[in-house]
Structures are given as C-alpha cells and as structure tokens.
Amino acid sequence: MRPTFICAIILGLALNILPASASNWLIVAVPQTSGKDGQILKISQPFHVVLSNTSLHDLKLWDEWSSKGYFNLSFEFKGKDGKVVTVAKNPDVYWFKHSPEVIIVHPGCSYSITVDFSNAKEWMGVKNLTGKMTMRVIYKNTDKALSVFNAPIQSDSIKVIIAR
C-alpha cells in the first residue's frame, strides 16, 4: 500500500473515534417569539434547542429519548437579583429500555431538540422561573464512549421574559 493511502485511512479512523471538542459545536435556544426587551419564553409552549456541527467531520450525540441522552440538556437562568435557577430533567425516571441510539450530525448540519417545560414531571426548576431573566443552554454528555461527543457545550446567555 502507498504511504499516502495509509495516512488517509488512519486520519479517517482517528476522526471517527476521537471525541470532538466543544469548539466543534454551536448551541442556541430558540424561544417562541421576540419582544422589545428580549425573547419571550412561554412555559406552556414547546421551544427548540439547536446543536450545529461547525467541524469538518461527522459528530455523534446520544439521542435524547435514550437513557444515555435524556439528561444531557439543562438550562441556567439568572434573575435580576443575581440568583441562578437551574432547570434540568427529573432524575426519577424509570427506564423500560436502555438501548442507546446515536445521532450523527454531519458537517455544517444541525440537530434540533424540542423542549417542553409545561411537563412538570419531566423538568425540575421551572416553577422558579419568573419575569425577566437571562438564559443559557448547557449540553453535557456524561457517558464516556469514545466515539460520542462528551465535552460540555454552553450557549451564550440571552435575555428572556418568562410567560406562563
């Protein structure tokens, strides 16, 4: 085999098994509507979080419905008084199946997660959200599988107005 071909194979394998860094991702929350003082986040309606692959190779995430991906998404809200409210999935979930499923996000593509804070059994901390706040999205995979992304990603903070 020619050395260039072997190098290409090794590089391809390395890109496929090495975990990506947080700099390979862009994460944003997309609340339902905008107002003059910020985005309006209606607790009673779903909104989206979008993860975009900014790298030059495929990246992998655990699908949110599986036990390995269910707890990866959380939110940090900060009120005018400086108090921080964390909104995260309820850990008291009984799993009937633990079959992990991987989502492959191609270079330049995005993966959208629908978030529904109106489900009080699923999300903890929502009842503490009120008024004008800043919101930051945090995506953190705690599973250490080599081929699945596992570094924390954080969005920039955006101004939101909480509406019930």
> Residue 45 maps to which CATH number?
2.60.40
Cα 79 to Cα 5: distance, rounded to the nearest angstrom: 56
Q: How far apart are CA 61 and CA 148, in angstroms?
A: 6
User: Would you place residue 99 in the very low, low, confident or very high pLDDT band (cuts 50, 70, 90)?
Assistant: confident
Give the pLDDT score at 11: 36
Tokens of 73: 């998404």
Query: Mean pLDDT score of the chain, rounded to an integer?
Result: 84
Rounded to the nearest 5 degrees, what angle is found at the Cα of 50, between the Cα atoms of 46 and 55?
170
* Statement: residue 151 has pLDDT above 80: no
pLDDT tens-digit profile of 75-96? Answer: 999 999 999 999 999 988 776 6
Look at the chain and report how many structural domains it folds into. 1
Ranges 17-26, 38-47, 85-94: which has the least confidence? 17-26
Tell which wins on pLDDT, 86 or 37.
86
Rounded to the nearest 10 degrees, how much is the dihedral formed by the CA atoms of 139, 144, 148, 149? 40
C-alpha neighbours within 13 Å on the C-beta side of residue 119: 11
pTM score: 0.83
Would you list the DSSP string of 94-110?
--S-----EEEE-TT-E
Residue 20 has pLDDT above 60, yes or no: no
**124 token code pair:** 């903890």
How confident is the model at residue 50, as a pLDDT? 97
Residue 151 belongs to domain spanning? 3-163
β-pairing, 123-124 vs 84-89, is: antiparallel
Kindly state the average pLDDT of the residues 33-41.
86
- Region 132-143: mean pLDDT is 91
Amino acid at 32: Q
pLDDT surpasses 90 at 66: no
Query: What amino acid is encoded at 54 in this protein?
Result: T
Lowest mean pLDDT among 2-6, 116-120, 123-127: 2-6
